Structure 1
Amino acid sequence: MKTSVKALMATSAFMCAFNAMADGRLEGRVSDSAGSVYFDGAIIRLKELKLESSTKDGGRFSFNSVPAGTYTLTVDYLGAESVQRLVNVADEQTTKEVVKIGSDVASMENLIVVGQAAGASSALNKQRAADNFVSVVSSDSIGQFPDENVSEALQRVPGVFIERDQGEGRFVGIRGANPDLNSASINGMNIPSPERDRRSVALDVIPSGLLEGLEVRKTNTPDMDGSGIGGNIEVKSLTAFDRDGMSYNLSAEGNYNDLESEVSPKIAGTFTNVFDVGQGQLGVAAALSWQDRDFGSETMEGDGEWESDLEGSGYRGPVKMEQRDYTINRTRLGAALNLDWRPSDTSEYYLHSLYSHFEDQEYRQRAEYKYDDGDLAEIDGDSALWTDAEMERNLKDRFEEQKITSVVLGGMNMSGDWTYEYSVGYSKSEENEPDYHGSNFKAKDIDMGYTSLGESPDVFAADEAFVASNFELDEIEITNNYTQDEMFTYKFDITREMSFAGHPGYIKFGGKISNREKTDDVDTQLYDDFSGLGDPTMDQFSRSTVDYGLGRLGPAIDKGLIDNLINGSIVGSGTAYQDDGVLGEAYNESMVASARDYVIEEDVQAAYIMSRVDINDLRLVYGLRYEGTKVDSKGYDARLIEDANGDFSHSIEQVKFDKEYHHVLPSINARYRLTDELLLRAAYSETIARPSFGDITPSPEEISIEENELKVEAGNPDLDPYESSNFDLIVEYYPGDIGVISASLFYKQIDNFIFAADVSDMVDSSVYAPGVTIDESEIYMPMNGNSADLYGLELAYTKSFESGFLIQANATFTSSEADLDLEPGASRSSNTELPEQADTVGNLVLGYETGPFSLRLSTNYKSKTLMELDLGDKENDTYADDHMQVDFSAKYDINDSMQMYFNAINLTDEPMYLYQGSRKYNSQYEEYGPSFVLGFTYRNF
């Protein structure tokens, strides 16, 4: 690292030997004609000098080192007429200009200040002005959709798709690449993940009401992190200088979920103000959002348990089926406080903070049809009957809490041609799952089967399967999980403005150090002998039946009665279950729980050098970035050991793994202005994606054996990072009004891609259970593939009509070819598509605005996706079915300050469906029902 930094410093010193530009300075702001609203993304030019900049931070722009003289200043903003004026710049002085666009105040207010066109205009102007290829979601645009969190707001962006959990958007993918191949940051600070097994952040923990905007950066520049193969998501929270003077915004709403017939409240508010402090200004921005949501889902799951020749019948069928009913409460609390101090025109200091607190209380009632424990009596292609099979009924009582804290302290100073930027950041994510209770009841000798297959198979069982007294308490699990992801980041950037053979530009260099530690701590106790309590049956813990729309689920397990048993007879007694039969037998499931614990330390050191130069209508941004990564992993190696009596014990040994890798990542972005309306962009970059923490954990997720069947879920600390070479070609056409037509071709050549797979045919099971007789094994492990090619076409169209109509449409078409790098003679071909890559992602939005009314109908589509590979049999690969969700929004301006809105979410009750090999073979089917929101907003800006 030291050698790289010295080389970069020497190179930058050499480049700084070029002649500096002169000493004058021009700065200003761009506002509406009333001077009350400021616009980011306006393109500012000094014609004679061929200098170009764009507004940001509340409509501000600046040109340093401008020679003394008179120049033509032009301001170009989509949705308004261009403005041109003469400005005089003097040596060693700062000239200030306030440029007002839109001579017709009423027209500007309708077109830009408020309404659907405001969001589209703001986003498109920022996109057009960017050096690299970005898609922008402004705060105005976020408010026009019924999106509850950051993930859902991002699904409207071209090329972006989301993974949903219980119907809510969580993880975000870009251009066909799975979410773990993206990076995400808040106010420039990387976001650690509260999830124990993932690197990517579930952005649903951040309420959309806290945001000033979102940027999806699809091509890299050297001053960006190199760890974004799909792209980078930048979350921008509100700052006071984004607005003028004091502003505030308050909203309150109720959310009705049709499936659970529950109404849930949400309140949010923002406040900003700018205070004069001495010669400078202090900006204060605060935001708060709170939601308490009750909803649910209903699920039918084959759970990946399908066999091609079920029990020698010649038919493909399920080993088991599960009915699941979820009742969920999710609470989100988000807060942001941003302080910005600008003591002079050439310096600023800031403290930006964001806090998010997410709670998820989930109760799951489950009935499990265990066909493989019975005798197959009849079967054909669509139905089957088993006799003397088993059914299990289960209650999961899980409370999960996630917290994200992000604090960034930094500043910026300008001195002549030099700009110095620096920051130190701290972020911490936590996931706490305390006192998880899982209770399981079992009944035997039941006739059961199914009468149809498909999305939601029709399952049946004899009447005794629905009598609670027939189910005996089989097992109780008590678990405490805690995950922490903590990161310190130190960053500096230095920019030197200069002329390259008469062409304006700059050179920029800097460095970044990130120290990250991910910790996972699990403690589980499993109780499975209740003879000391008289072998309780389920009728002692049931008061009602489950309201379940996908069939007959039967009696419900009562949470309160189970808690009484656990707290009174088990935990409250203070006595462990013993073999003497006083209460039964208990043991700590250390071979699963303690062995899951891990600590992973990851240190990344980065340095870069880059340059930007404007050669007439061509802008080039190019350079190199170095990133060195060191990973230290500590965990446990667990094995099952069988004694002479057939009983199992566990062998646990602490293990350590070290891995280090280095990358030099070049990139170049070219933007050519063919006309004022037509831009051509091209880019090449090299990026990486580090393996997720769950993939490289040295500790197994699970090792278990039942009836000589071994099940293992393990990590792979020896995984290499993804490496990608990325090519982009983009055409953007901006007509004179609010609109864009764009097309982008992209290609990614990815090495060492990672995929989750059933490796039972490739791994010796004796590694996990030495000396144990194994008849069948299921061993899941992440592996590196050889290489993959991902290529696609991204199209986007936005148009705002004078009649009030608005159309936004985008579609991304991707295709991939991946080489799994299997040994010759493997049971399946080594060629496949890239896991978690969707062939088609698209959005269609139809909007209309007239007077105080605003309407918007939006449709989001994602095609089928390969989710998991089975290396033994391609027929067992798991796919997510295509998904199309329709939402509707309506708004009415009661007056200039008060607005009423109505949102309808998932109008068509679109389910989530995963299947195995063919759509006929259910892996998971889940319904959520539509939701309806009624709310009010009061604002003074």
Structure 2
Amino acid sequence: MANAGKGPAAAGDVVRLDAFTVASSKEMDGAALAINEQRFARNITNVVSTDEFGTIADGSVGEFMKFLPGITSDYTGGDARRFSINGAPAGNVPISMGGFDMASAAGAGTGRQVELDQVSINNVSRIEINRSPTPDTAGAALSGSVNFVPRSAFERNKPSYNYSVSWLMKDAERSFARKSPGPGWGEKTYKIHPGFDVSAVVPVSKTFGFTISGGYSLQYTPQSNVGMQWIGAATASNVAANLTTGRPATTPDNPYLAVFNWRDSGKHTSRHSLATTVDWKPARYDRLSFGFAYGMLREHFATRSQTFTINRVLPLNWAADHTWGQASIFNAATNTNSGQFAISNNGRIRPGRTLTPSLRWLHEGPVWKSDMGVSYGTSRIDYNDIDKGFFNGMTMQRNNVQILFDDIFYLRPGKITVLDPNGQRVDPSQLDNYSLVSANSVRQRTYDTTRQAYGNIRRDFRIRDIPVTAKLGADIKTKIRDLRGVGTETYTYVGTDGRASTTPATQAGLVNDDSPLPFLDTAYSERMPDFGLPKQQQVDNNKLWEGYGKNPTHWTRNANTEYTSATNASKRAQEIISSLYFRTDVALFQNRLKLTGGVRAEQTNIRAEGPLTDPTLAFQRDSAGAVVFQRNANGGFILNAAGQRLPVLLQPANAGLPYTQLILKDRGYQAKKEYLRLFPSINAGYNITENLIGRTAYYETVGRPDFNQYAGGLTVPNIEVFNPNDRITVNNVSIKAWQAKTYMARFEYYFGRVGQLSFNYFVRDFENFFQNVTSPSTPGFLEAYGLDEESYGEYLVVTQFNSPIGVRMKGFEIDYKQALTFLPNWANGVQFFANISSQRARGTDNFQDMNPFTCNWGFSISRPKWNLRLSENYRGIQRRGVIASTATNSIEPGTYNYRPKRLY
């Protein structure tokens, strides 16, 4: 500070000081900035700085988010891609970047979940988890939403440049500087790879600045596992307890092992990212922000799985430590397949990329304030196999063997004995003991496109000395999901003799020519599997595809099946959501009580296309469009056994592909849907003391169904030849979205410096869950699909309706985080965090993403040049799907599959 005058001031004169800034406010570290935002938010939210956990070596934002309270990550292929908040399905958790919805091809499907494997954390400053929405946020946040705040040059007053170089490895593969088998077919590769990321935050002046970041990583992930299926526990029996013709019924306290499989799998994942933001203040009250983010991910994965299956067991020929299957019979007179073993391969290359430019204008005038923005996002995922020179899948097996499991312990059978029908031992590790059955290709491309524009204005004023802020806004969002692919192309191996087989010999004792040994993967067959299992010869899917190219007559294909598969995989949906909202903020009791409330209206319009199956499209019609019926030589109608006239077909029903092409149309089904929803919300926060805040909220949200609800297709029956077993099969486009009403309360205590402790409790009431039904059609239902009641009214409909039964969920969270500033100077930079989350819901199977208990903890030491951190993510046992129970299948009513507790 300095006197602005040229000389000393006289006594009593007014002294004008030069402008000054408090440096610490702009150089505030990331954690303090995030806690400050959370503390002064008008709703219930968690804000976390991405700097708190240090460098994420591969740039994966999922590896960061899994440690946040209330968040449950869903791992796919070893990557944290999808996320649930308080048990809500990942498809009902909106995720945005800088307030703009993110495009995501959602695993090449029709789901709404935003998968973050193509998103890098390098250019993200903070992550906001909004637990209670306000009227200016989307109504589809069933239990909350996530927003990534990009880095801004205006967060700093000095340039900052950072880089990091890393080596990426998994402890299961520690082979440094030497190649080992896999993950691809017939290859050896390095399993430890370098990675790097760079970033710059450059405030050029008080009115202009930019950020830029980029990164690259290549990481190998092993994915081996074992599985066991126990009859009477999670797998159903198929014959009565006293029968010898299958797997006899047993009681849940005396199960037996029927299937054992192990998987040897791995993948290489490469990530590329580039992002930038440009901030410019063209005038005192105005700011323009341009953002651009590009992310690319490429996965190359390959899986080899071996399965031993017992089909027949003599009653009680088992115990906890063994199961002895029956002997098979395979001769000219009898074929009894009591057991089999098989190997299946699966592997593709999955490249994907996401591109998101955005532009935002903020006006912070003395009277009026406004915020406007536009964005465009596009995401694409491909699945490649034969177009890259290899089959996706392969199956080889051997039937008609006897399988004996002995020395069973928690992981696997300690001993597996395989005998042929003559009682001779069979070595399942040798390819000559298998028959090559088939291979396949599953190529696909999925696009997801988002477009968004929004604008709002707000004004602060006082009513009887009470500060009030009114905000009016609108936005429009368009999302397009487009799926194309071949579905599944199956190549059946028949060899030179033209006969397919599932065992190396025929019933007559002749040797088949379907051995997979010519396609031996010499590299991967050297690998020693995990779990103490012996070496196993494996098939090279590259050689299989080369073999098809050289000898296509050794394989057969079904053009009709391939056309059906490709057509059923072709879907498109477009959704436009137009919103208008009004928000009011009021501060009472000298700003200690803050209220935020209002209402949001969303108009949703959906157009979708999917496959249409209609047998009447194969009917021959006259010039007037009337159906032509078959006649005999005398000119009379030809009738079936039920006395019904038979239409003349353009192609015979057994013609295969020509007939299917008539009745199955690519995107021949078109659906429309529109609806209006209102979303009221109210948030209240009260400063009990200077550092203790109590908050409450009430809000209503929806969980929209995935796009297959509209693009899933329509199948209608043959209306000219009535069959009482025929059905109309279609997803109900008129179904209502899930509805939720949430009551939430939270107490937050903020420590003197960087840190906070909070307790959150919520009650959430759900309604409009979906249930599958087969019911009579109604005129209104048929009208939604353009079906005539006179023609289709007598058929039952297989579809879904909203359940009248509601569900209540309750849960709580405890979140603690503190920078240990009370330690000596040499220990500066130490931070500790811990949080637990728990929720419960009864009477529903709709929340398979819900984990009843999760716990995260960790500490970190940060220095300008390095950081050290240790973090753990614990997930408790998680209930999955129910197992069907009948009087004869040995499954106790109320039995569920469970996912065991895990530590990440």
Contact kept, 8 Å, 1:627 with 1:663, in 2: the verdict is yes
Equivalent position to 2:835, from 810, 815, 822 = 810
Q: CA RMSD in A?
A: 3.7
Q: Distance in 1 between matches of 2:550 and 2:277?
A: 48
CA contact (8 A) 2:598 2:682 kept: yes
Higher deviation after alignment, 215-224 or 458-467: 458-467
Deviation at 1:126, TM superposition (A): 2.0
SS of residue matched to 1:209:
coil
User: Cα deviation per residue 1:619-677 (whole Å; 9 max; x = unaligned)?
Assistant: 11110000111222211145999x99999985525323322222100011111111211
Does the CA-based 8 Å contact 2:105-2:481 persist in structure 1? Answer: no
Q: Choose the corresponding residue for 1:322, options 261, 275, 278.
A: 261
Contact 1:656 1:698 in 2 (8 A): no
Between 497-506 and 460-469, report the one with greater CA deviation.
Answer: 460-469
5 Å-filtered alignment, 1:297-336, equals 297-301=223-227, 306-312=234-240, 313-315=248-250, 316=255, 320-336=259-275
Q: Does 1:844 align with 2:857?
A: yes
SS at match of 1:141: helix
Structure 1 residue 692: Cα displacement: 2.1
Partner of 2:508: none
Which residue pairs with 2:611 in the alignment?
Answer: 636
The worse-fitting range, judged by mean Cα deviation, of 804-813 and 670-679 is 804-813
For residue 142 of structure 2, what is the aligned residue in structure 1? 229
The aligned runs of 1:653-732 (5 Å cut-off) are: 653=665, 654-694=668-708, 696-699=710-713, 717=733, 719-732=735-748
Where does residue 371 of structure 2 map in the other structure? 421
The aligned amino acid for 1:431 is I
Match for residue 807 of structure 2 among 777, 788, 791:
788
- Picking from 96, 99, 121, the partner of 2:22 is 99
Contact conserved, 1:696 with 1:718, CA < 8 A, in 2? no
1:865 is the counterpart of 2:870: no
Pick from 250, 263, 266 the counterpart of residue 192 of structure 2.
263
- Number of the residue aligned with 1:160: 71
Distance 1:875 1:787 in 2: 20
**How far did 1:199 drift?**
0.8
Partner of 1:561: 543
Matching of residue 594 in structure 1 with residue 517 in structure 2: no
Percent identical residues: 19
Query: What does 1:129-208 correspond to in 2, within 5 Å?
Result: 129-143=40-54, 148-195=59-106, 196-208=109-121
Tell me how far apart the structure 2 counterparts of residues 227 and 468 of structure 1 sit (CA, whole Å).
53
**Structure-2 separation of matches of 1:403 and 1:724:** 34
Write the deviation string for residues 856-887 of structure 1: whole angstroms up to 9, x where unpaired: 332211122223344667555332222223xx
Letter of the 2:416 counterpart: F
Work out whether 1:372 is the aligned partner of 2:311. yes
Whole-Å Cα distance in 2 between the matches of residues 365 and 199 of structure 1?
30
Ranges in structure 1 where 5+ consecutive residues have no aligned partner: 1-32, 34-85, 90-94, 103-107, 571-580, 702-712, 764-779, 820-831, 886-941
Q: Secondary structure at the match of 1:275?
A: coil
CA distance in 2, matches of 1:273, 1:540: 60
Shift of 1:376: 8.7
State the shift of 1:208 in Å: 2.1
C-alpha contact (below 8 Å) 1:336/1:355 kept by paired residues: yes
Determine the C-alpha separation between the residues in 2 that align with 1:599 and 1:282.
Answer: 42
Does the CA-based 8 Å contact 1:722-1:750 persist in structure 2? yes
The offset of 1:728, in angstroms, is 0.9
What is the distance in 1 between the residues matched to 2:527 and 2:865? 45
1:800 corresponding residue in structure 2: 819
SS in 1 for 2:37: helix
Does the CA-based 8 Å contact 2:229-2:235 persist in structure 1?
no
What is the DSSP-based 3-state SS (H/G/I as helix, E as strand, rest coil) of the residue aligned with 1:224?
coil
1:514-569 Cα shifts (integer Å, max 9, x gaps): 11111111203211142347744211111225532133472111233223224443
State the Cα distance separating 1:119 from its structure 2 match.
4.7
Q: Deviations over 1:149-184 (max 9, x none)?
A: 112211221111211123332211112222222110
Whole-angstrom distance in 1 between the partners of 2:157 and 2:438: 62
Q: Secondary structure at the match of 1:531?
A: coil
In structure 2, the CA distance between the partners of 1:865 and 1:470, relative to structure 1 (3 Å rule), is: same
Matched, 1:400 2:400: no
Gaps spanning 5+ residues in structure 2: where? 2-13, 175-190, 241-247, 329-338, 387-391, 419-425, 499-512, 619-651, 716-728, 778-797, 887-892
Report SS of the residue matched to 2:221: strand
Distance between the aligned counterparts of 2:218 and 2:799, measured in 1? 37
In structure 2, relative to structure 1, the CA distance for the partners of 1:101 and 1:427 (3 Å cut) is closer
Provide the TM-score with structure 1 as the length reference: 0.71
The 5 A counterparts of 1:328-367 are 328-367=267-306
State the alpha-carbon separation in 2 of the partners of residues 382 and 230 from structure 1: 46
* Residues 686 and 760 of structure 1, relative CA distance in 2, 3 Å threshold: closer
Q: Give me the whole-angstrom Cα distance separating, in 2, the residues matched to 1:629 and 1:718.
A: 12
Q: Which has the higher strand share?
A: 1
CA distance in 2: counterparts of 1:373 and 1:363, whole angstroms:
32
Instruction: Indicate how the Cα distance of structure 1 residues 455 and 484 shifts in structure 2: closer, same or farther if over 3 A, else same.
Output: farther
Instruction: Check the 8 A contact 1:591/1:638 in 2, yes or no.
Output: no
1:435 aligns with 2:385: yes
Q: Which amino acid aligns with 2:489?
A: Q
Do 2:490 and 2:557's aligned partners in 1 also have CA atoms closer than 8 Å? no
Equivalent residue for 1:465, pick from 428, 434, 454: 428
Give the match's secondary structure for 1:590: helix
Distance in 1 (alpha carbons) for counterparts of 2:443 and 2:576? 28
Change (3 A) 1:586 1:176: closer
Q: Hey, what's the Cα distance between the residues in 2 that align with 1:749 and 1:254? A: 47
Q: Does the residue aligned with 1:731 lie in a helix, a strand or coil?
A: strand
Q: Distance in 2 between matches of 1:239 and 1:485?
A: 27
For residue 417 of structure 1, report the CA deviation from its aligned partner. Answer: 0.9
Amino acid aligned to 2:491: Y
Per-residue deviation, 1:236: 1.8
Give the whole-Å Cα distance in 1 for the aligned partners of 2:105 and 2:613: 25
TM-score of the aligned structures, taking structure 2 as reference length: 0.74
Matched with 1:275 is 204
Answering whether residue 664 of structure 2 is matched by residue 652 of structure 1, we say yes
- The structure-2 alpha-carbon separation of the partners of 1:716 and 1:300, relative to structure 1 and needing over 3 Å to count, comes to farther
Shift of 1:267: 0.8
Q: Shift in Å at residue 100 of structure 1?
A: 4.0
- Say if 1:304 and 1:601 are closer, same or farther in 2 by CA, change over 3 A: farther
- Deviation per CA, 1:908-936: give whole Å up to 9, x if none: xxxxxxxxxxxxxxxxxxxxxxxxxxxxx
Provide the secondary structure at the position in 1 that maps to 2:903. strand
Partners of 2:16 and 2:81 lie apart in 1 by 52
User: 2:281 & 2:137 partners in 1: Cα distance?
Assistant: 25
Q: CA deviation at 1:217?
A: 0.9
Amino acid aligned to 1:274 = P
For 2:760, the equivalent position in structure 1 comes to 744
Q: Is the 8 A contact 1:286 1:336 kept in 2?
A: yes
Deviation readout 1:426-482 (Å, 9 max, x if unpaired): 111111112352122222222225447776332734233222012222112122101
Once the 2 structures are TM-superposed, how far is the Cα of residue 592 of structure 1 from its aligned partner?
A: 2.9
Whichever of the two has the greater Rg, that structure is 2
State the distance in 2 between where 1:402 and 1:784 align: 36
- Is the partner of 1:229 in helix, strand or coil? coil
Other-structure match for 1:603: 576
Q: Which moved more, 1:259-268 or 1:286-295?
A: 259-268
